[in-house]
Structure 1
Amino acid sequence: MDKISRRHLRSWWMPAINIDKNGNIIMAYSTSSNTAGDFPSIKMTGRKPCDPLNTMTMTETTIVSGTSSKTGDTRWGDYHHMSVDDFDGVTFYYSGVYHNTSTKTNVSAIRMNPDAIDATISSIFQVTPGNVCGSSSQLGIVLQNLGTTPITNGVIQWQVGNGTLTNVNYTSTQLTTTNSLDTILINVTGLVNGANLVTVNTTTVNGTSPDENTCNDTKTLTVTVGGGGGVSVSSTINAQPSCDSNSGQVTLEASGGTAPFSYSLNNGTPQSSAVFSNLSAATYIYTITDNAGCSGSGSFILVPPANVVASVTQTTQIACNGFQTGVINVSASGGQSAYSYSIDGSTYQSSSAFNGLSAGTYTVYAKDANGCIGEATITLTSVNVSGGTPNYINTINSSNGSFTNLGAGSYNVTTTDANGCIQTFSTTITEPNSLVASGISIGAPIGTATGSITMSANGGLSPYTYSINGTNYYSGSLFSNLAPGTYTCYVKDANGCISSIEVVVEELAGNEQLDSFNIINLYPNPNKGIFELHITGLSNENVSCKLFNISGQVVSEFILKPTNGEIKQTIEMSRRLAAGTYYLGVYQLNSAQIKQFVKE
């Protein structure tokens, strides 16, 4: 109890005092006075935990008021008792007796009025109990609203030892009523090995700093780093993997640290068991973590037995086509002897030789004492004319020798080698379709050389070359700058076959137009490879278009469909075509036009 002045003690009788869980103090007592308005009564006063010492700051309040001045009943109130509710920790219960014409009993329930804005730290705890491994830890700060105003936000300040003060802003939807609670999580850093005193304050509440009651704003907690010692790790290989199977097993071990432990391989999901099975040959990194988050790492290597390497050679050739006289021999190295051998992967024998084999591809296997298997592949071929045993006799339809100038037809061919091996087969010599040349011309006015011939070919064997004099052949099929006249045009295929045709370049008078349609416009010219094409005077038949380079070679072909005897079309050349001079040939039935343009 705070010190009370002697002046008051002389007029206060039988004080009863107690303190609630928030540090509020209430004291009840009897008074004795002859002063009017201050007759003998039962009264109370008190102080809040943050009020100045030596002072009862609560306004004196009358519990039971006397009705007369001091008389012989000097002990007007008696048997005072003040207790605090064990359940809520904030309700004071006063009981006492007084005499006012008769002896009476008074029981009163009293609470200290809360401040308007008052946030207190009820408690602090480590989210993960026990010693900490590392320099940081997450703490839970239990805030309690002791005021009457809902708390929606604030600032919590923490400090490790005498280190830097760090502010953490928080918001809350739970601190809406008096005595309501909410837990705020903060991450404290800068911890060092050993005991760390962490001090936590509520510095700002709803934008107000400080709140109305500052002596309940601070709590401390000791966080210990280490203490349990580091985690030492080791591993024991129980079984190495056999051959290519995942049969390895290892047990991980930890000492020091704080149990229980968790175990992981290659940053995988941790497990509670220290045994890892079904492991293949590899290098593994493992980590063991204790309950405080401390960990240790190590590595181990699982090594399979040495690989078995199989090889195979053919020791006896197949004498004749279709014979089963081939012999192969399998050898093995690596692994662990003794070896057994198989030609089908199922049945194994101690002998490494396999005979009676026909032509074909074989996979052979060598198995060592550990059951590890190596394999190899070999292909046995039959004797043919380019192999076999010289000398050879070739016959066609019973005639011997070399055979040339054969016409189209079917022939029976028989080949016999020095071993008497015989191979008979039939072959057919075919000839291509007849080579046919065709051409279409554009006439030229009298006295000019502006005509052209466009040639094409069918049959034979492509590629084709073209000529208008029978001597000089070109890959281009467009011949331009021709005077009126009759030209013998030639086509030669890849076999050297030649076909010819006479094509007439008509003689035109003035502006006479021999064809039934005109290229009205090709624009722009020059262009960037994209131009507009406008043709009129067409029939409804498809129009064939060919794009020639300066050498007369076809670089592109396409078909256009007239609409009402007219074509309006945007043409886009391939971007792979270089800049230069090009010719556009337009053909419908027996009519043709050639238009020269430049791609920039």
Structure 2
Amino acid sequence: MNKILFTLLSFLIFSAAYAQEKIIARNPTVITGRLVKVTGELRNYKLSDKAIPDVIVRDLDGIVGKDEAFEEGVERPRYPASKTFKSDPALQKLYPVNVQANVANRAIVQNFAGMPYQPLNPPDPSLCVGPNHVIQMINGSSGALFKVYNKTGGQVVAQTYLDAITTKGGLGDPIAIYDQLADRFILTEFNNKPETGTEGLTMAVSKTNDPAGQWYVYFFSTGNTFPDYPKFSVWNDAYYATTNDFANGSTYAGSTVYAFDRAKMLAGDATATVQKFTLGSTDKFFSMSPVNLEGSVVPPAGSGGLIAYMQDDTWTASSTDVDSIGLLEFNVDFTTPANTTIKYKVTLATLAFKSDLCTATRGQCISQPPIQGTTGTTVKLEGLDSKIMNQPIYRRFGGYEGIVLTHLVDKGSSIAGARWYELRKTSGNWGIYQQSTYAPDNTHRWLPSICYDNGGNIGLAYNVSSSATGVYPGARYTGRKECDPLNTMSYAENVLIAGTASSSSTRYGDYNHLVCDPDGVTFWFTCEYNVASTWSTQIASFTLDPCTPVTCGDPASLASSAITNTSATVGWGAVANAVSYDVDYKAASSATWINAATATAATSANLSSLTQGTLYNWRVRATCAAGSGNYVAAQFTTTAPVVCGVPTGLVSSAITSGGAQLAWGAVSSATSYDVDYKLTSSATWINAATATAATSTTLTGLSASASYDWRVRANCSSGSGNYAAAQFSTIAQGCTDQLEPNNTAATAAPITIGVTYNALIAANGDNDYYAFNNTPTLKKIRVSLTNLPVDYDMKLYRPSGALTATSQNGGTTSEQIIYNASKNNDIGTYKVYVYGYSGTFSSTQCYTLLVELGANNFSSTSAQTNQSNAVQVVRSGLKVYPNPASGTFTVSFDAYKKGTATISLFNQVGQQISDRKVSVENGINFNSLDASRLKAGVYFIKVNNGNGVQTQKIIISR
């Protein structure tokens, strides 16, 4: 929908030199889209499946609840009157008139009814075409409607509201596009803020090439800004769009250009974003439409999305301004948005044109015969001028790139005609290759749409109407062959669908849609027309015959270069008029050709995965518009194999739950190394490094507690050696402590007997307390602390709060306390205290705690603490100093009462070195030991009173 005629002036004063490559803006606004849903298969959709209720959002006056006077209710100022003219200097002078005499295959191929009338204006028809399907979209009372047809008009998916499958309340202005590069379909509309809570755009992307299958549904919010008259296009790096923006749905606030992350949307990625620039509130930007890529050949590398615009010299006050068209270029970087820019690509002076047909309100200049059943009542239709019409088309041909676009002009005497242009670029920047206005008589031709086929032929389709010539609102088309005289539509005008009645509404359009079938030769058009006072829609297709066949030459100057033992580059000279090339290769001893490139525009191809020391044949042929030429062949031999050593000394280190460091010894003469890895259970290798000069690499993103294989091979100047392999296992995955807070005895976490708990000491100072109860029949206690990531110790407290026992084994050795209680006062709530030795901790790796009760005594194991029913003598506070020690060192501990204890010395593998029985007094006890005869290393001191053991580590240095 065209929303406004500006009150603001265009600020660009045309200058070809000034306009080239000037950056308009950087740092776009980035919006993360919402992946609303993945639909079910549309072939199974029933009306009863509609996800949201119908809401009437459009009627015969347009959008319900919006004062659409703002759409075109304010007139632009025009400067100055002397700049106007009486007739169009680009007007085509000669027209073929004998329709029947024209070439047979330019006739209509298909012609069937589109979706029927809805009680609203205008219908805004759009369509897209894939290899086997046609999708039409129009406005409906509750938003955009779509229907999927086969190529002969048969129904595949019934007429359905788009928001019935997207669940985002729709408002219409639909655009349908087909992404030929991905073989996918895209359906779009803007949204109804009362239903969605925000203004925005909905895009549905087919999950596969089957439009009756599933669809990804995305919603992109524009806040309180109404994105009017959205137009969309496909490019190889993004989906592009333009909108005319209205703050709070009423005040024009400039026009916006968007780049949607095509790659993520095709994958159904929920993180897909759109980057956008909002440009000034000028007529030039208000006229914009994105350029749509058709065909299978992508633009040259680095070519950004293109946006077409027009500029009428009467839109500015400058006396030196001229009528022009131009292109903006949107260079998007989805990884680093700060690199994204939009710039003037080129501004091109055109032959003079007058974009306003007349001075009537909202451009109501298109006449039609009197309305049936009235006494001469006439209604004039809106022309929708001052816009690049839906939609400009880009194709890349052999030797040049091309764009076609069209807009409405006054041919003279306020008669509407279609001004069309072809732009071309061979090197450097774009230029106008040809331009003309098609208006063969005094019938209005408006709402034009233009398109290329793959031979460079151009189709042009449009609506027609006139009270002067007695033509009711209908649709026609014309066209030209690529080899026809420039600036001429050489085909006689043909009727697609004839109108037989006049429209009772002034609203018409707002656009039609002409596209090219993926077959490259068939044009498809959808439009509005009248067989009653209310509108109907039609879908039709036609073809244009190719130019007289030109013999396609054979490639010459064949050359083979960059030959290695496994690859080569083959090249040839360009062939005149060639559109593309086909390249095959094979081993000379083989009878089977292998395709290397099909329909490539390049004049070279890279061959890989070849066999060493082998003679190869390769061939190339050129393809022109008329067909393919002959194959021309050549040969090369890959280099002979040279033995490259096998890496040795493979080491896996720094192994965590999610990563590992791999290293190997250098191989003599190696220039680089290739490294792969995989789960031992998998058959598929994953590349970790290719052609790295380093002798180590780091793996990340691994699975915890898993066995991995890895391999490495050396690459020498003449080839690669054999792989050497090794294996490692990742450690257990870290865990989140779900028993916190339990840092004090008062907040001890209650645990269940016999249940294994995984818990975490996540920081220095973090301690864990646990509480449990024994019973008169199950008095005996065994507490086990295992799977220690670092040096953790453990204590057990009786119901009275007294310390019962301590386990302090060194390193990551498991800890265990056994308390074989026998007295009734030993029944109650016990507490286990787990802590890190000297504050050690692991923020990612868990320990395991298990408490068991029994009716019979538990037996102790080596290096564990066994606490019987006797009273503990050694209480706490075991200290060893100095530590490290080289001579005599002191062992001190606190005791409850007098008695005896044994001080034992163990090495780090658990072998007992010595023991010494000592007398114990109540309070702090001190004993000296001689380490002068001990070897340097790590030892453990254990103090045992027969009922309990405390352990402390000591380092002996020399």
Give the TM-score normalised by the residue count of structure 2.
0.17
Determine which structure has greater relative contact order: mean sequence separation of CA pairs < 8 Å that are 6+ residues apart, divided by chain length.
2
- The structure in which a higher percent of residues are strand is 1
- The structure in which a higher percent of residues are helix is 2
